[in-house]
Structure 1
Amino acid sequence: MIYFTSMEEKKILFSTWGMPAQWKDITYTYDEMSVHACTTLKLLSKKYDRVILFVLDSIADFNGVSNSSQCGTCYSQSFKDFIYSGSYSDVISSIEERTKKMLACLGIEDAEVIVLPAKGKPGGRMQFNGDVKDYLSIALLSSYIRIKEDLRSASQIGLDITHGINFLPTLTFQAVMTLMYAALISGNNEKIWFKVYNSDPATPLVNNVAINVMYEREVSHICVEGKNVERAIRTKGEKFSDLSRHFNMVYSNEVYPLISTLLNPFPLAAAKLSSISKIDVQWMLNGWIESSSIDLGSVFHDIHYDPVAIEQAVIADAFLNRMREFNCGDCCDINLIDKITKEIYKKVSLENYYILEQEISDIRRKASDYQCGPCKPNKRIMVAHGGFQKECVEVQNDHVKYCNWDKIFEFIKTFERPR
């Protein structure tokens, strides 16, 4: 059997940038450290092992005069002569590279840049069309893909919203919370420390500002939306109908069943799914990028994922990868079910944890009561017994398996627990 091995704990910082060309040089102070800079990132990045910077694809569309600050100068050097042309993939790759160049100009090393969709006409020239919630979906997919391995060992996650504008702080907060839940599922840490930073206002007459911890909490329980999304993707025209059909199929057959087994709780079903399911979050991101285009001064996005479906996809992928480490398959050792219960399900719901612990105890004491019979999964019985409805499971030599997986699978695919 393969189990999760301990890793060096990681601290991860997320930061949002609006339009850096207009920021002033100022002295930022935090935790008895000070730095003269145009961005809080210069100081906060020293406190973390990994830094993820979210910028909008409108960052290159500045119709004004850059400030004479470090940020203004570095912005002008990095984004001069930028043109929105070619494929959308080419444009966001270029913006990513130019933002990295700007960071290097500012003396900020090793920060990763993720380019996300803007909305409206923030720079006054380019029109960015789409759904504002695309930002949340793509932020989740992009950042999860980049840092999924480090999430396994995350002990602290920070979010700096000082330079975020409009919808950035709110939607980024939502994305980071989901990433923390993915971290709790995929790793052995029982809790993650979460901090949100924002500086004092950097007004024209102020030369020194403090960076404040605006929100701080210990995150130890996983919270994910349990509804079965009816329309997981919206597309424009028939061009993307195949992508739409495939995504809906993945959602119905892979994503939602895993979420159902996590929340309800059905660890034996989750163990079975881990041996047969596949979720390709990179394909989801690529599909969105490839469906986007640039034409006549406008950016267009022709597919829109439901953010709840993407949140569930990220959590389901983290859950799937973690469950594979237990290597259960069709038949699972009851001691392994107990380990899964303690390491994963306890973080979701203490109520469900106690249900599972009681059922595991009953299986150990009365294994002969769990023998295959006419299996008709019943909602009340399945939930009350952690998925171990007696006539639907068989216990032999301390190993438990479902008698009729097809019936169980159809049940969890459509089962939505009342809220």
Structure 2
Amino acid sequence: MRIKKATLIRQRDVSSWTSCQTITQNLYDLYAGLAEIQIQNTLELSDSDPFSTFEKGYELSQLESDLLVFIDHFPCPATIIKSFSKYITSKKRPDIIIHIFGDFTLQAAEWLSAEEQLKEFNIKFICASDAQANLLNKLLNNPKNIESHFFPLRDGAHHFSQEMRESTRERLKIHENELVFIYTGRLSMQKNVIELISMMNELKRTFQLKFKLLVAGPFDDLGIPYIGQYSQEGAYCTRWMKQVPNVDFVHYLGSLDSNELHQYYCASDCFISLSTHNDEDFGMSPCEAGATGLPLILTNWGGYSSFKKYFSKTYLVETTFNSTNSSRPSPDKKSLFKTVINFIENFSPKERKQIEECSLNIMRKNLKNSIIELETSPFNGFTELMTKVGARFSATKNSPFSGVRGNYSDLYYDLYDSYIEVEKKDV
């Protein structure tokens, strides 16, 4: 195969989302090591205002690349492609790979505005999970435009260390035989963190179980903006202070850097998250935890259901999601109890080992065919559902999925029921 000259496209400013910072750098390293391409340029985008967009579109048209690869979530790739199409003069169009993040639906109006320009190219939208690929299948006309590949991890960065486990446990005064769960990520209504603690506390008391729960991450007050439920600053922290301090098995660690997270992953026995966030297309925290050999207890929601493909010790908690009560998707308490008890009964710390399935080297092999098959993937437009989503975001930007009485709309269920169907097939 002829080596393709590639331009990687990312934002210049550091993303405000820590996970996106890690993902973008890992994607850059992924392509830098691919034998099938030669990185000709890296184009950094500083803003999404019209002048900057058209300026970068012109700059891109002068590079004569065979392949354009978007590895960041902002600015929306559609705006750059729209500008690039205006300036490119060569009849041979470069192929395009776009790595999709959780905010794809938020950018629906921008994607729709570039629909005709996108049809000029062969495009692969690379999703981070099967659930997200199913979601895009509802929004794009050509299924050949869509593939699913996990976001990669740096090789060897998440190894398991027995020495690190012992020293961290000693510092926390945790006995070696004591069972430790860990949650890392945003402390948010979207992630159901307080609900996790409440249900684990009930489980502990009901069945007389002994375990600790480590929690690490920053508080956020995003609320549920899709239906217009915004929180005041400090609201989630205030709720935490009212409900959590009296729960003696919870140890809050604050916000941690990557080295500190690695230590606590090694010291723990199981990662747990009950997130039902609508943008939960992947999950960098459980991926990094799982790579150290930690078993995972996750909801069967969104990208979480794909973790079973890469991490054999993944336990999935059922999610309640239906339009009859118009409520947000929620982890099922009975399913959680059953899942945790099943994990405890079968747990053996001696079986732990590092997992390499998400390493850069393995992901490069998986991505090779995607590059080869680009020539047979012409973009063929968006579906009627995508048009509806774009219209709602344009009309009601601050609450695009709100229904009657502040609940979710039917459009939300039509779009996101794919986030649970993937796991139902696997059960």
For the superposition of Structure 1 and Structure 2, which TM-score range results when normalised by the shorter chain?
under 0.3
Instruction: Pick the structure with more strand per residue.
Output: 1
Higher Rg of the two aligned structures: 1
**RCO higher in structure (CA 8 A, sep ≥6):** 2
